[in-house]
Amino acid sequence: MLFWVIAGLLTLGASLAVLLPLSRRGLARAVDGAHDLEVYRDQLAELDRDTQRGLIQPLEAEQARAEIARRILKADKAAGGSARPGVSHDTRARIIGVAAVLAVPLVSWGIYAATGSPDLPSQPLAARLEKNPADSSVDELVARAEAHLAANPDDGRGWDVLAPIYARLGRYDEAVIAYRNAIRLAGDTAHRQSSFGEALAAAAGGMVTAEAQSAFARALELEPGQPKASFFLASAMAQEGKVAEAEAAWKAMLASLPAGSSWRDAVEQAVAEAGRRTAAAPGPTQEQIDGAAAMSNEDRSAMIETMVSGLDEKLRQNPRDPEGWTKLVRSYQVLGRTDEARAALKRGLVALGEDSDDGKRLAAIANTLGLTAAD
């Protein structure tokens, strides 16, 4: 009942704020019109007296009387329309305005009475956070967890619960922090480490960084064959240009997965993509590169000359080949030819575009090798 009383008072105040100026404007016009009528009537009387005394000619008097009569008609109309029966334009406008102002609260009250819940008690944030978790939204649950952890920052279990929620919401930087705290406070497990690495990769835009690789490697130490860690470590190899090695790792993983594993579809797609990339970007294999590093200087020079010149020629003919540039940069760097690796990196960034996705990926991979375009 209190709600309706307050709503009625507020509606009345708002309506009066609109209606009073309308009524005052009409009243002011009426008062001004009445005053003008009195002035014009006095002018007519004065005109009659001047005519009787002979101070004004009859013809001029008639013209003046006609002009004053015209002004009287106009003033009478402004004062309320007494000179012409019917409702004036201003009066009609005021009536329409009053009806519109009164219709707004009536219609809104009717709609709210039919669809609203005036008897529902208010629900401040603190009260919402205290209600049953089953009746809370995701945002309310996250706010409740954040409030709890702000008061209890050493609750490892709380960080462990909040971290995957952050990840599902796309708040990857916060997920990384939560996983760090969960590992530090609740202990080191394969699941936490692999999820931590996944959050690091997601926060880096999909790049499996060196820190993420360390987390995945730690997960495999704690649980050999852990699928998430195995999958992302193979992805890291593919990002570094070791597509053949990545493909082999995914195939080995696929052979060890149970038939109903949720990772099977993702691994099969990764194997197919690796095969496509290998066919689209021919060049020296990782085995050839590593073998060249172990050769004598003479044999290595011959190997490098054949390998690099062939790949370089392909890239000149088809510079829009991100996999080829990755292999060329990595080949130079592994063989200790840093200046040529840096030059190849700059050429690749020019060909691919530094701001393109391929260019950013090439720069990120080069950075893992200790190279930057700025150098």
> pLDDT tens for residues 3-60?
556 766 777 676 666 666 655 555 445 555 566 667 767 777 777 787 777 777 777 7
Of the candidates 246, 255, 241, 243, the residue with the CA atom closest to the CA atom of residue 333: 241
pLDDT in tens, 73-96: 776 666 554 444 444 556 666 677
Q: Which amino acid makes up residue 309? A: S
pLDDT in tens, 323-374: 788 888 887 777 777 888 888 888 888 888 888 888 888 887 887 777 876 6
Report d(CA 347, CA 334) in Å as an integer.
18
Report d(CA 232, CA 198) in Å as an integer.
8
Percentage, residues of the chain above pLDDT 70: 68
Give me the CATH code for the 286-368 domain, please: 1.25.40
* pLDDT of the residue at 351: 86
* pLDDT of the residue at 220: 95
Q: Say which range, 115-119, 146-150, 317-321, has the weakest mean pLDDT.
A: 115-119
**DSSP code of residue 225:** T
More reliable by pLDDT, 65 or 304: 65
Name, in order, each residue with C-beta under 8 angstroms of 242's C-beta and a sequence gap of 6 or more. 286
Of the candidates 320, 340, 321, the residue with the CA atom closest to the CA atom of residue 330: 340
Report d(CA 128, CA 120) in Å as an integer.
14
**pLDDT band at residue 128 under the 50/70/90 scheme:** very low
pLDDT in tens, 172-194: 999 999 999 999 999 999 999 99
Q: Say which range, 52-66, 94-108, 237-251, has the weakest mean pLDDT.
A: 94-108
* pLDDT of the residue at 195: 96
* pLDDT of the residue at 159: 94
